[in-house]
Amino acid sequence: MKHLHFSIGVLAAIGALAIASVAFAATTSATASGKVGVARTGLGRVLVDGRGHTLYLFKKDTRTKSNCSGVCATYWPALTTSSKPLAVAGAKASLLGTIRRADGHLQVTYNHHPLYTFFQDTKKGQTKGEGLDDFGAEWYAVSPAGATVEHSSASTAQSGSSSMGGNPSSGAGYGY
């Protein structure tokens, strides 16, 4: 009987570790290499991560601090790195940098803007997070010059964007 309790305890611990690692992965970009490039989307040329997913800036951030953590980081995973970020495919190395997040990870910046992906952008070229007002401020794709990319209604239709970003704090599409 002691052996059975021990086995159940070990299985419970392994399960808890698996859940914790999944939760951690959801709050940081799957691309922890810190690669930043440029690709053409319905919005024009924008910054992308190593997987080709659009990178966004959060208007609530400052030059030295990310203001997106917790639930926000689940919807808007930070682009993190374990070393110096790498400019590829049209990005400017001189505009790349990092900041230290509250969780201790290094977040990649471009022209002093902390960079994020959007959880609904699951394929290369998608810009579903463009112009959303989530978690207290607006989100914009980033141009190769390091500025916001503001969409027109024509480019929004082409990119599949909507004003329903999935922010549970806004009630957009979740019935809250």
In a domain, 170, yes or no: no
Residue 151: what pLDDT?
73
CB-based burial of residue 31 (10 Å sphere; 0-12 exposed, 13-18 middle, 19+ buried)?
A: buried
The answer to the question of residue 165 being in a domain is no
Write down the pLDDT at residue 164: 39
Expressed as residue numbers, the domain containing 144 is 2-159
- Measured CA to CA, the distance from residue 134 to residue 81 in angstroms comes to 24
Q: How many domains does the chain have?
A: 1
Whole-model pTM over 0.75: no
pLDDT at site 150: 84
Lowest-confidence region among 51-55, 60-64, 150-154: 150-154
Q: Decide: 130 and 165 in contact? Cβ < 8 Å.
A: no
Say yes or no to pLDDT of 156 above 70.
Answer: no
Phi, psi of 167 (to 5 degrees): -75, 115
Mean pLDDT of the chain: 79
Q: How confident is the model at residue 22 (pLDDT cuts 50, 70, 90)?
A: very low
Asked whether residue 172 is assigned to any structural domain, the reply reads no
Q: What is the mean pLDDT of residues 122-129?
A: 97
Is 166 part of a structural domain of the chain?
A: no
168 in a structural domain: no
Q: Which residue has the higher pLDDT, 30 or 116?
A: 116
Query: How confident is the model at residue 152, as a pLDDT?
Result: 62
Of 107, 102, 121, nearest to 166 (Cα)?
A: 121
Residue 176 within a domain: no
